[in-house]
Structure 1
Amino acid sequence: MAVSFKNLIRACASVGLTLCAAAAAQSRAMPLDKQHTRLGFELSTRWGQTLEGQFPRYDGVVNVLPDGRHQVSLRMYTADVQIADHERYAKWARGSAFFDSKRWPEVVFVSHPYDAATLIGGGQIAGELVIRGIRRPETLTVEPAQCLRPALDCDVVLSGAVRRSDYEMDSLKLAINDRVVFLLHARLEPPGDTP
């Protein structure tokens, strides 16, 4: 299902990016393909164990701006967070000590405009990340594409590391490292699939 411009503008406004909202009103939206896109994160314990988290529910759209650059907007819902094979950690991640999904039901990322060639050759996509109501500049690293039409014929693979303490997620410091790595494998809905 396509993310409406209204929802995109709401996402942009939630992070205070009025330019994003203005650009969205004049752009062409390409929704993420929910059958193939995977949005998640990794945490590591002090004992070397990796915890793999997923956002099974999200909304995402890539806008082609009038100047040809792209801008991505993601909204990930924290109440649905899962951590593979570790329901106890999943409850902790959804709870008040981490994402605090009752108070802060969404993690939002809105990129700054970027050149579409970044998806082919790799590079950096800067933007604003909001977790627990705290907005900070963050950067995602794009891996070089494995096909000629990234996001259509193969995944666009992005990652970005943040410190959870920057977002007031300070619990279990002795057990879980401060670094959180966001991992995104994204595809767009094929042209013609949207109304």
Structure 2
Amino acid sequence: MRERRPHLARFLLPFLLAFWPAWAQETVAASEPSAPTAPARAFDPQHTRFGFELRTRWGQRVTGQFPRYEGEVSTLADGRRRVRIVLRTDAVVVTGSDRYTALARGPSFFDAQRFPTIEFVSEPHADTLVRTGGRMRGRLSMHGVTRMETFTLSHADCEHPGRDCDVVATGSISRDDYGLDGWQFALADRVRFMLRVRLVESAP
């Protein structure tokens, strides 16, 4: 009778069981964003401004501001940056009109009672982006909907943007994508967000 050779799996299985957990942990860790390695820097309220702009069907411009906000810029372990911005819709102000301010906060538009904040969290990006300008993608959550959107940063006017000059960015979104369907008879679909940001200096 021919002797049966042990199956290769009998030798490989103990080896795989011994090393798979470590391999799996390394793989999961590599797929996760790097954790912050330095204290996050908050926005400087004396210089930072968050605004928006819409157009009416007749070409007129409607502008507004978000005077209440929070957020920070974090530095990750690999040197990249991540931006988080939270805007308070219950404090939004439409320039020059108390009536439009109330409508903007109301259920036909931002619906601040149900959705009191708008949040943007960027994908990790190179720290040089604020100097060179370019596209910054991230997750925008507004009116109960979350989507990926892109903001465009302008080329900086100084060597240290965020400290010596403003970081300027703009981005345009579709109201229809977020269910902001109020005033369709009067307002165009696109909402343009504008931001000018400086950061508080880190503690020594």
TM range (shorter): 0.7 to 0.9
Where does residue 41 of structure 1 map in the other structure? 52
Where does residue 133 of structure 1 map in the other structure? 144
Secondary structure of 1:91's counterpart equals helix
Distance 2:38 2:86 in 1: 19
What whole-Å deviation, never above 9, does each CA across 1:71-124 have from its counterpart, x for those lacking one? 000111000000110222211110111111000010000000011111001001
1:23 to 26, 35, 39: 35
- Letter matched to residue 174 of structure 2: R
Mapped contact 1:59–1:74 kept (Cα < 8 A): yes
Secondary structure of 2:41's counterpart equals strand
Offset of 1:27 from its aligned partner? 4.4
- Letter matched to residue 66 of structure 2: F
Where does residue 182 of structure 1 map in the other structure? 193
**Larger C-alpha radius of gyration, 1 or 2?**
2
Secondary structure of 2:101's counterpart equals helix
- Letter matched to residue 144 of structure 1: H
Where does residue 61 of structure 1 map in the other structure? 72
Query: What percentage of aligned pairs have identical amino acids?
Result: 43
Distance 2:97 2:189 in 1: 19
Where does residue 171 of structure 1 map in the other structure? 182
Offset of 1:28 from its aligned partner? 2.9
Distance 2:84 2:115 in 1: 18
What whole-Å deviation, never above 9, does each CA across 1:120-159 have from its counterpart, x for those lacking one? 0100110000001100000000000011100000000000
Where does residue 127 of structure 2 map in the other structure? 116
Where does residue 113 of structure 2 map in the other structure? 102
TM value normalised by structure 1: 0.85
Where does residue 160 of structure 1 map in the other structure? 171
Distance 1:54 1:23 in 2: 32
2:43 to 32, 36, 39: 32
Distance 2:122 2:104 in 1: 24
Q: Which runs of 5+ in 2 are unaligned?
A: 1-31
Mapped contact 2:39–2:202 kept (Cα < 8 A): no
Let me know the Cα RMSD of the aligned residues. Answer: 1.4
Offset of 1:49 from its aligned partner? 1.3
Over 3 Å off, 4+ runs = none
Where does residue 143 of structure 1 map in the other structure? 154
Mapped contact 1:28–1:65 kept (Cα < 8 A): no
Where does residue 16 of structure 1 map in the other structure? none
- Letter matched to residue 35 of structure 2: A
Range with greater deviation from structure 2 (129-138 or 43-52): 43-52
Offset of 1:171 from its aligned partner? 1.3
- Letter matched to residue 58 of structure 1: Y
Distance 2:35 2:195 in 1: 24
